[in-house]
Structure 1
């Protein structure tokens, strides 16, 4: 439980691209060291531990990637390379856990303390980080899409605005299942451009609009559903209030604000709770916290639906009482 050697060995191996470079017949330590400008003796120590872990195996050439180690290759299709690569958004963010004590003592994001800017500013400053983050988010939700689509009656809505919807995989899945529904995605550039391209490739360009904007800015108005997928847990209460306020300003009076994310004490893992704190200064809110967050905006929790093992859908309506 205390050792850092193994998790850092895996991260450094993926960052160096070793699982990909050692596929097939493998290579010798000296060859790899020369190619990557590494210290041969130190590289041999790293590969030795990777062999102990079963990620690589010794062969005539030196070392080669094992069948198990192939899971760490870029094209493995499981998203692990983006989570482990220290030059990708996920891998870089994980290193903020080194500053966990700062978050616990202040309640603020350790990411900002470590890197001198918050996570979102870092993505804006480094396009490669944003690209890897968009890829990570698309992969993270992919396997859950069927249950997200089938677990809720999306046909109730004529227009869904996906607020901070990334490249639009969730919205695209909803629209594909419900031909009578239109969609409007809001996200920053260059993610918005990628979403337009993806919608076009799926034949959804006639039923979708994409707006390149922040969800802290006014949202496209008049839709009957505003969807927030894995958004609010990335923000502290002040910013979460601002996001909800934009949704309430835009939604049709009879419409709904829909929140899909883990709910503390129900579908949220304690590790995810800490990750939200360390990276974003957020958390996995409990139901009472969601109610408290929504109430100042005149939002009432109508229903909660368990969609997947990790995510719930919270349906909020505007309070129609005369005192509102």
Structure 2
């Protein structure tokens, strides 16, 4: 049997993922010159060929010896490079700058919702033992309560969700005959990017977005920016409370996998209640065995106590609410669209 010890240790090591997160949290790729960044210009006081670790440590208020150790590992990873007068950010490392436009800073920064949430993976043993989220075990409150307590976390989470879904919006809009529905309620629809795109592509459709007030304000701005004030409404509220009734479709995008079965039942129940007698409930998210990744599945568990449910689990979840799974469409490389109808009688 081949000795795979080194390979396994490399897979298990925490030094690299934490070094990247701390580098982003300290803003090192932004602060160091290199790769055409603004600090490349000697006229702004930063030498184009590198910034000394001591000066950087003084600027950040961190230990200079420890910072040098971090920078040395970042050199090994190709994030920064040594220069005659200190350190520079490489072209590869520039992907971790705040202006890179790839969403990585919100995913990795330890003060952002994404970076903070991933630290809950240290509680994975707790989640596997209990079946519950590791996040409250680490932080003393669940993820959503943490966002309520810290508005900055909610802001970063909203940005992360908008960026993560942005590339898939055109396929979601094009892959569904939204014109079938005169009215669409986007339940927990974030800042409204998807609903705005649906309405823009289908002038005969009207939309109504339900979201917590802190995020609903962003949705109002989105609809206004797209000239949709006449066709899009925003209601501040929770999807655990009664929803606007009588719409043709109730859309849940990446909602149910964020919750355990008890809470997922509450959300589906509110949708079914509002959709009666002839509305549809549309669930758009990864589906176990079709469009899901094992690593992301563990993230849903450890952060939220949720999971990427399989089709039989969706059917079981929907049945008590009189919902029948009608069609399943593998809509993108990451998500399926499940369309539920209300059972007759």
Tell me if TM exceeds 0.5.
yes
CA distance in 2, matches of 1:264, 1:191: 29
Q: 1:98 pairs with 122, 126, 130, which one?
A: 122
Matched residue SS, 2:283: strand
- Say whether the 8 Å CA contact 1:224–1:252 is kept in structure 2: no
Structure 1 residue runs of 4 or more that deviate by more than 4 Å after TM superposition = none
Matched residue SS, 1:227: strand
Q: 2:92 pairs with 65, 68, 78, which one?
A: 68
Q: 2:294 pairs with 270, 278, 303, which one?
A: 270
Aligned twin of 2:255:
231
1:192 partnered with 2:202: no
Q: 1:249 pairs with 273, 277, 301, which one?
A: 273
Q: Which runs of 5+ in 1 are unaligned?
A: none
CA distance in 2, matches of 1:59, 1:146: 44
- Say whether the 8 Å CA contact 2:276–2:342 is kept in structure 1: no
Aligned twin of 1:142:
166
- Say whether the 8 Å CA contact 2:147–2:153 is kept in structure 1: yes
- Say whether the 8 Å CA contact 1:97–1:278 is kept in structure 2: yes
Q: What do the CA deviations read for 1:88-121 (whole angstroms, capped 9, x no partner)?
A: 0000000000010000000000001000000000
User: What pairs up with 1:73-84 in 2 under 5 angstroms?
Assistant: 73-84=97-108
Q: Which is further off, 88-97 or 147-156?
A: 147-156
Q: 2:241 pairs with 217, 241, 247, which one?
A: 217
Matched residue SS, 1:313: strand
CA distance in 1, matches of 2:139, 2:326: 40
CA distance in 1, matches of 2:207, 2:27: 39
Q: 1:9 pairs with 5, 16, 19, which one?
A: 19
Q: Per-residue deviation at 1:190?
A: 1.0
Computed over aligned residues only, the root mean square deviation of the Cα atoms, in angstroms, reads 0.8
- Say whether the 8 Å CA contact 1:225–1:255 is kept in structure 2: yes
Q: Per-residue deviation at 1:252?
A: 4.3
- Say whether the 8 Å CA contact 2:22–2:109 is kept in structure 1: yes
Count of matched residue pairs: 321
1:19 partnered with 2:29: yes
Matched residue SS, 1:253: coil
Q: Which runs of 5+ in 2 are unaligned?
A: 1-10, 34-39, 41-47
- Say whether the 8 Å CA contact 2:300–2:307 is kept in structure 1: yes
CA distance in 1, matches of 2:113, 2:161: 11
Q: Per-residue deviation at 1:262?
A: 0.2
Q: 1:181 pairs with 196, 205, 217, which one?
A: 205
Provide the TM-score with structure 1 as the length reference: 0.98
